[in-house]
Amino acid sequence: MSLENYWNLHLPYNHSHREFFDYLGQTQLASQLCFIHEQTINPWIDSPLQNAKTIMACRQQTGRLPVLTLDTNPWFNLEEYLQQLDNYIDPTAYFVLASDIQADQLTRSNMASFPSCLCMVNICNQKIKPLEKKYRISFLSGTARYHRIALFERIRPFITDQDIVVINKFNMDHFISSVPVGIAIDTARWAHELPWQSRSGLIDTDQSKTNADKFHQIDHPAYLACVNITGESNYNDSMTFISEKTWKAYLAGCLVINFGTANLSLTLEKLGLWIWKDYDVGGSENLRVEKIIKLFQQQNIQDLYQQHADKILHNQNLVSSAEFATKLAQVALDKLVRQLRP
């Protein structure tokens, strides 16, 4: 009999952490686990006492180790929350899959990073053929964030009909909360001007996540561009969360500019990816924006792409391999095995 995807929760989409463990060749290990989705345990909403009761109910009902799947969104201050949870439940009674890809920063014995977004992207794109590059530069923004809209405002005068730029306005409340302290911004103006598209037919009017494949597939004109700007959320530099945005760009064989947290590019380089340092640079956000503006004004984007074809292929081959995903998951897998020992 097949095990449930998530304990006490039926989701309308097909993929789950149980499938991710299968993808990594860890079906036997996963059979000893009971995955608890973030919709069931939400550290930002539920009290530690309530979550402790939920974890124990899962353990008693299934006889398996409860695993909190908090690795598909950036949960800030998670360790502080788990310290509060320790007051109500023994840490050995459950495990946490976390979203901070910097495994060395997660010191708890019952927590480790897990590359769910990477697994999901690879599973959803296994049958995708090599993508011929037809456009210059692409930049997608779904959920509104200040740094994405601020970048869009700076590059808008230089966007051509050979660029794929789509700025949606999902969750404008997130946009407001992401504005840095001391910066005044006309949110009403952006609520009126957005969504925006560089070519017709690109605006996504469906915010539903009932089909999770849609958010992880590279079957989009943006990935037919030579260069893709990822736009990861950047309002917390204490952690490095790599979402499907970044993995899709590398898997699609794009020249990638990581416009997110300051340490994102450095982390990816440590993982073995080649970083396009001519434009994917550290330093201030303004410096990064100035570099991107200059890139939009160049006429030789296709030439730049061809010059780095071998590096692009290296990144594409690395990201698409199950071995790479396993490497990113190894600390979590090892900790789970130790915790399951009698």
The whole-angstrom distance between residue 10's C-alpha and the CA centroid of its chain comes to 23
Rounded Cα–Cα distance for residues 107 and 8 (Å): 29
Beta strands in the chain (DSSP E): 33-37, 65-70, 95-98, 111-113, 135-143, 164-170, 196-197, 225-229, 255-257
Q: Spell out, as residue ranges, where the chain has pLDDT lower than 70.
A: 1, 103-104, 129, 173-174, 204-215, 234-238
The pLDDT of residue 284: 78
Quick check: 190 and 149 in contact, CB under 8 A?
A: yes
What pLDDT sits at residue 126?
A: 82
Q: Which two tokens stand for residue 209?
A: 């996540």
pLDDT at 28: 97
Report the C-alpha gap between 233 and 175 in whole angstroms: 11
Residue 307 tokens, joined: 């010059």
CA angle, residues 247, 249, 255, in degrees to nearest 5: 130
List Cβ neighbours of 162 (8 Å cut-off, separation of 6 or more).
135, 136
User: ∠ CA(43), CA(109), CA(246), 5° rounding?
Assistant: 60
Q: Residue 59 class from Cβ within 10 Å (0-12 exposed, 13-18 middle, 19+ buried)?
A: middle
Look at residue 210 in the predicted model and tell me its pLDDT.
44
C-alpha to C-alpha distance for 224 and 58, rounded to whole angstroms: 45
Neighbours of 237 (CB within 10 A): 11
- pLDDT given for residue 103 in this prediction: 63
Contact 196, 166 (CB under 8 A): yes
283: left (phi over 0), alpha (psi -120 to 50) or beta: left
Q: What is the pLDDT of residue 205?
A: 60
Q: Does residue 340 contact residue 64 with C-beta atoms inside 8 Å?
A: no
Name the nearest CA neighbour of 137 among 204, 215, 198, 218: 198
Q: Which residues contact 104 (CB under 8 A, 6 or more apart)?
A: none
Res 32: pLDDT: 97
Rounded CA separation 82/268 (Å): 27
Q: Report d(CA 131, CA 90) in Å as an integer.
A: 49
pLDDT at 131: 81
Q: In the prediction, which pLDDT does 325 show?
A: 97
| Model pLDDT, residue 310 | 97
Three-class DSSP category at 113: strand
State the pLDDT at residue 86: 95
d(CA 305, CA 138): 13
Hey, what domains does the chain have and what are their CATH numbers? 17-114+323-340 (no CATH), 125-307 (3.40.50)
pTM: 0.92
How would DSSP label each residue in 180-240? Answer: PTT----HHHHHHH-SEESSTT--------S-HHHHH---SGGGGEEEEE-----S-TTS-
Place of tokens 């210059």: 136
3-state secondary structure of 166: strand
Handedness of CA 25, 26, 31, 34 (dihedral sign): negative
